[in-house]
Structure 1
């Protein structure tokens, strides 16, 4: 009887000591970079959508020298009478997007690689504000370019608008710095939730921003006023970070790393400069590919699968041009479609993660394979869509494509050591940043080449690129690797699973744990396995 009572007390104390849930209100108050990121992306998408029309009008009036009245009919009213002229405009715009994508990606990658190690020594607040300032300056420079409408060529207007965000790293640096800030300021227990909220905030900002931009254009608010709305939204995010985020350095880093470089010897200077050298960081990011590990083939195959998933993400810059060409949609139509598309995508991720993975306990490889089929089917239907109903059906069919990214990252994290997880995600980030260098121009060339014959050909390119990922998932399904597929036994938890297994082990196997270990000490699976029952 006493033993049973002690067991219940131990279980209660253990749960109390290890599970201290925060209230919903306190959790919301703890959010800082997440709502700021949402505001930033909303402002960014509003300015991007509005600037699409400005760029098309510049190409029409200046580059192609069409009449102003004709350009107004083409851009604002999507008049099919001038179908041939709009196709010529879209070809030039697609080429400009390819050029700007290459320039933006080249510079941004090196900015991110420099700011990453710099923020380790000096804190995350300045990189956050620095990247956000570029997003605020972009619509500001768009206004300057719009005031020069009809006087400068489209390529100069594109460079004028994108240069500030390119030099500051833009959204890439913000997401990187925000993720690092969350890791610095959270415990391992709630870190995953906070990073998930950040990801959801960024994803939610995209369709909301496109919808707001479409509404502003539909009610003819005007280009300048719409861009001012974008500036205000991004500015609110900037103020939120400025007020709420506290700067701090990682433990073990020296204060003023560059100052120490000047005071130390020449050898120390070279070492410190090497530390912040973006080229060195780029090499270090890819070095994880060549490290000796137990299953190098499986690791490389999953990296290839990640690339196959990331490539179709580049297609989004062509979708607006496609729906204008194929369906004669305006900005408001496209904005509403984007909102529905996001809601379906969110539902698809929930279906995959909660139902297929958690409830039905399907292997990671099988969930990834099903998601790949969703992406291939959706892309194929997009390519042949001739009505709005077909576009929405394609979006529903494509709803699970976002799961591939989650599955691949989960499988990769199980193949690396705990101290390599950060390097792994750095590598994946670099890959995501470098892919537009190659695939941005590729998608633009495909769209320009097939515009008059089959404008949806670039969707088939996305479907084709996904096929190798499907073959890789089949390979893991046939091998039935429990570790990679997420079917491993609970007695052998991964590094990320240990805190959860610890609670279960505490409740089942160690009834007097609250008396043995102080409540503030976080238990590891190793310590639990080495605690023995008191001898009679």
Structure 2
């Protein structure tokens, strides 16, 4: 096993890893765990699933926590809307399916509150992501991973308190505000996938991203079933589990995640180094930079397509639970969460194995995989919108089982189009744009759903299919 020797005062160029990729080198265990040596590490010599093994525990716990709490939060909002905002009796609130007029009112107000929550959740994260991706390229990925989980503990602690008292559902908007103000999902994704981009190459990146995304999704949907079942023991029980998982993630990142690249010391960082106009300019330069061939145009088209898909998928997802819990389906929370879990587990397994088969054995490009996934998403939304019974919902799940492959291929392709020292800037720019997706999607689709649910509840899904369809041909 070869030892590393280098001059600590001489920091290698950003593309140093690439230039040394042809060297015959196998890092020792001590080399891999040592801080400040990453620019000297030959990325090609790292184990194939090096980054996946480090990020899977983190994203698994994160997925389980968010899957557990999300449907429970929606149910809590629905309950408080009925009890407090609309001031209906407990008899009506506990048997909404027997009171059509009141059920429609609860559905309408709940969807509006969810829209406001999404806006609160999106805007601060969109702002911070403009700066923190570029900052992490200089100061490292570890701190941007830690901060969101501290915020999640506080936010879901507040939600836990609200399970014991009856207050207006509008106060529950404080939960997404705290989450977003500390980075939330946007910062977690930027930090995690920038870390993975640091220590993967074009050959290993796609399978590593697929594994991490799939495990996250598997546990997120499994958490949905867990949360639904735990509510039978009390509204507060799922929140105890969620908070515990966030605490475990904070501890895991603090002690188990090591930076292998030589970043600047955080001790030398000032607050004025974080929020600066220059970081926004860096993000823009990453997108507008001239690249070989048509790579710049290709990069912009991919991000544009991702935004369109995100708007439609996130917009429709925001109303799915309400869509299925009322006429003509009348699903219970337990029915919805079990369906969600099974659907997610199947999609997660497919994401890993189909991606490996398509990439490694059939040598299909990431671009073509993205096209197949988009077509699957269009058919999924179309069947959802035309459904008149639960059987159609199950068929929709079947035809849409490949839709999540698109997000894996897009991450892999976009990272491969930029230099290693631009990964954080690219992902922060992309996540900032993706933060607009909930803002647009939830606002538009919730308002449409509110005005169409009485004559065609599935109209939003058909609209989403029509808007997404042109992406297939791009």
Whether 1:170 aligns to 2:184 is yes
Q: 1:89 aligns with which of 106, 123, 126?
A: 106
2:133–2:425: 8 Å Cα contact kept in structure 1?
Answer: no
Per the alignment, residue 459 of structure 1 pairs with 461
Mapping of residues 119-268 of structure 1, within 5 Å: 119-120=136-137, 122-149=139-166, 152-156=167-171, 158-183=172-197, 186=199, 188=201, 194-217=208-231, 220-246=232-258, 251=262, 253-254=264-265, 256-258=267-269
Whether 1:104 aligns to 2:121 is yes
For 2:103 and 2:143, how far apart are their aligned partners in 1?
43
Counterparts in 2 of 1:463 and 1:167: CA distance versus 1, 3 Å: same
TM-score (norm. length: structure 2): 0.80
- TM-superposed deviation, 1:155: 1.0
1:285–1:430: 8 Å Cα contact kept in structure 2?
Answer: no
1:211–1:332: 8 Å Cα contact kept in structure 2?
Answer: yes
Q: 2:336 aligns with which of 334, 337, 340?
A: 334
Whether 1:445 aligns to 2:460 is no
1:110–1:279: 8 Å Cα contact kept in structure 2?
Answer: no
Counterparts in 2 of 1:408 and 1:43: CA distance versus 1, 3 Å: closer
Q: Which moved more, 1:305-314 or 1:447-456?
A: 305-314
Counterparts in 2 of 1:91 and 1:57: CA distance versus 1, 3 Å: same
Whether 1:39 aligns to 2:61 is yes
Counterparts in 2 of 1:221 and 1:376: CA distance versus 1, 3 Å: same
For 1:278 and 1:433, how far apart are their aligned partners in 2?
20
1:138–1:162: 8 Å Cα contact kept in structure 2?
Answer: yes
1:122–1:249: 8 Å Cα contact kept in structure 2?
Answer: no
Counterparts in 2 of 1:360 and 1:245: CA distance versus 1, 3 Å: closer
Per the alignment, residue 10 of structure 1 pairs with none
Larger-gyration structure (1/2): 1
Per the alignment, residue 428 of structure 1 pairs with 430
1:122–1:256: 8 Å Cα contact kept in structure 2?
Answer: no
For 1:234 and 1:297, how far apart are their aligned partners in 2?
39
- TM-superposed deviation, 1:395: 0.6
TM-score (norm. length: structure 1): 0.72
Counterparts in 2 of 1:240 and 1:413: CA distance versus 1, 3 Å: closer
- TM-superposed deviation, 1:58: 1.1
For 1:347 and 1:387, how far apart are their aligned partners in 2?
27
- TM-superposed deviation, 1:169: 1.3
Counterparts in 2 of 1:195 and 1:409: CA distance versus 1, 3 Å: closer
Aligned with 2:233: secondary structure? Answer: coil
2:130–2:429: 8 Å Cα contact kept in structure 1?
Answer: no
Per the alignment, residue 308 of structure 2 pairs with 308
Per the alignment, residue 324 of structure 1 pairs with 325
For 2:240 and 2:416, how far apart are their aligned partners in 1?
46
Counterparts in 2 of 1:278 and 1:447: CA distance versus 1, 3 Å: farther
Aligned with 1:256: secondary structure? Answer: helix
For 2:25 and 2:260, how far apart are their aligned partners in 1?
33
2:210–2:408: 8 Å Cα contact kept in structure 1?
Answer: no
2:153–2:246: 8 Å Cα contact kept in structure 1?
Answer: yes
For 1:126 and 1:418, how far apart are their aligned partners in 2?
19
Per the alignment, residue 353 of structure 1 pairs with 355
Counterparts in 2 of 1:127 and 1:363: CA distance versus 1, 3 Å: closer
Counterparts in 2 of 1:183 and 1:402: CA distance versus 1, 3 Å: closer
For 2:53 and 2:359, how far apart are their aligned partners in 1?
28
Counterparts in 2 of 1:241 and 1:313: CA distance versus 1, 3 Å: same
1:368–1:404: 8 Å Cα contact kept in structure 2?
Answer: yes
- Unmatched runs of 5 consecutive residues or more in structure 2: 1-22, 28-41
- Unmatched runs of 5 consecutive residues or more in structure 1: 1-12, 75-79, 260-271, 473-536
Q: 1:50 aligns with which of 60, 72, 93?
A: 72
Aligned with 2:108: secondary structure? Answer: helix
Q: Which moved more, 1:194-203 or 1:311-320?
A: 194-203
- TM-superposed deviation, 1:212: 0.3
RMSD of Structure 2 on Structure 1 (CA): 3.3
- TM-superposed deviation, 1:133: 1.5
1:208–1:339: 8 Å Cα contact kept in structure 2?
Answer: yes
- TM-superposed deviation, 1:312: 2.6
1:305–1:408: 8 Å Cα contact kept in structure 2?
Answer: no
